[in-house]
């Protein structure tokens, strides 16, 4: 794919992307970048697939929490078990929104619950559970399967970069073990190119199993550049995000003599998806002051789903 696909309208974002790729791939250009340095980083929730009214993984987790609350009545009065049992998606959505504003009180509670909900589960069994969820669950508002809630224009961008010798990685905020099968099925990104939050993994003495053990950390905000560097060993020269949590990785992009293209998805299409700026206020401000390129869902994408 030598040009972006039909999901993109020929506007400011299209020109910024195609112009940048042309410059960094043309020998003799002042911004030419050798293929091994053409690294691209993509956020996941809200960048590659829909994140409202709550991220896909949180829907998956709430179902697990409901099962746990049925088995253990002692947890039903505590969050996040109570919100899950009452199908209170608003509580989870607000926890994420507060996280993007710097308040991790409720999201830390969720992270702790994740550790107990999947403790001791074999990594293969967990992957099977995620695959079953993705094959059967539907978005609670859009009423379409989650496997049809990825953004085709972003898949086209990934393929366009692939065809121009970029190596594309996903820098997910949530659990990488959940993001890997989702990334593979929605966008064809292999698991070794997914960097994300990490649950502990314990080797079983029987020699055949690795089991999940607690939640070590979420890969958000200031953690993203360090995690990306530790996994990839290179800076990205092109990064796409959509929220305040992506600011550090966007600002880390380029540098050290490398050019940079920083892209921020602006969710401004209430008719075809959702319109919101909550959790992205600081990122939008940085885009305006630092010259990042906005991708308007309403104006730049011919197709959303």
| Per-chain mean pLDDT for the chain | 90
Q: Both tokens of residue 149?
A: 């809630």
Measure the CA–CA gap between 161 and 38, rounded to whole angstroms: 9
Other beta carbons within 10 Å of 203: 11
Question: Is the model more confident about 68 or about 36?
Answer: 36
Measure the CA–CA gap between 256 and 33, rounded to whole angstroms: 12
Question: Is the model more confident about 191 or about 214?
Answer: 191
* Predicted confidence (pLDDT) per residue in 18-55, tens digit: 999 999 999 999 999 999 999 999 999 999 999 998 88
Helices 105-117, 56-71: axis angle to 10 degrees equals 60
What is this structure's pTM?
0.90
What is each CA distance from 61 to 108, 133, 203, 205, 258, in whole angstroms? 14, 10, 24, 28, 40
pLDDT of residue 175: 84
pLDDT of residue 121: 87
Measure the CA–CA gap between 2 and 159, rounded to whole angstroms: 9
In this model, does residue 178 exceed pLDDT 80?
yes
In this model, does residue 277 exceed pLDDT 70?
yes
In this model, does residue 66 exceed pLDDT 90?
no
Other beta carbons within 10 Å of 270: 11
pLDDT of residue 216: 62
Check if the beta carbon of residue 218 is closer than 8 Å to that of residue 107.
yes
Structural domains of the chain, ranges and CATH numbers in brackets: 12-52+148-300 (3.40.50.1000), 56-136 (no CATH)
| DSSP structural state of residue 216 | E
Which contiguous run of DSSP H or E holds residue 198? Answer: strand 194-203
Q: How many residues does the chain have?
A: 305
pLDDT of residue 207: 65
- When pLDDT is averaged across residues 180-193 and rounded to a whole number, the result is 94
* Predicted confidence (pLDDT) per residue in 72-105, tens digit: 888 888 898 888 888 887 888 788 778 777 787 8
* Predicted confidence (pLDDT) per residue in 102-159, tens digit: 787 887 888 778 777 788 888 889 889 999 999 999 999 999 999 999 999 999 999 9
């Amino acid at each position: 794919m030598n040009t972006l696909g039909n999901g993109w309208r020929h506007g400011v974002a299209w020109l910024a992307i195609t112009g940048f790729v042309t410059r960094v791939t043309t020998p003799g250009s002042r911004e030419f970048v050798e293929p091994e340095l053409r690294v691209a980083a993509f956020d996941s929730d809200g960048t590659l697939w829909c994140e409202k009214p709550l991220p896909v993984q949180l829907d998956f987790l709430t179902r697990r929490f409901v099962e746990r609350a049925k088995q253990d009545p002692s947890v039903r009065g505590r969050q996040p078990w109570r919100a899950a049992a009452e199908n209170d998606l608003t509580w989870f959505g607000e926890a994420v929104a507060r996280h993007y504003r710097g308040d991790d009180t409720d999201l830390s509670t969720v992270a702790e619950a994740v550790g107990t909900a999947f403790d001791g589960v074999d990594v293969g069994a967990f992957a099977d559970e995620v695959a079953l969820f993705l094959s059967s669950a539907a978005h609670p508002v859009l009423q379409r399967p989650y496997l049809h809630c990825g953004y085709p224009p972003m898949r086209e961008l990934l393929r366009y970069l692939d065809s121009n010798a970029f190596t594309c990685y996903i820098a997910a905020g949530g659990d990488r073990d959940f993001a890997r099968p989702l990334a593979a099925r929605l966008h064809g990104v292999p698991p070794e190119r997914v960097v994300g939050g990490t649950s502990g993994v314990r080797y079983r003495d029987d020699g055949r199993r690795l089991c999940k053990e607690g939640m070590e950390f979420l890969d958000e905000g200031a953690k993203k550049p360090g995690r990306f560097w530790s996994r990839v060993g290179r800076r990205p020269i092109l990064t796409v995000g959509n929220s305040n949590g992506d600011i550090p990785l966007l600002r880390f992009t380029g540098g050290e003599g490398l050019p940079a293209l920083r892209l921020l998805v602006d969710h401004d299409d209430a008719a075809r998806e959702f319109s919101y700026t909550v959790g992205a206020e600081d990122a939008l401000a940085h885009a305006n002051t630092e010259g990042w390129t906005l991708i308007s869902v309403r104006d730049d994408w011919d197709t959303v789903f």
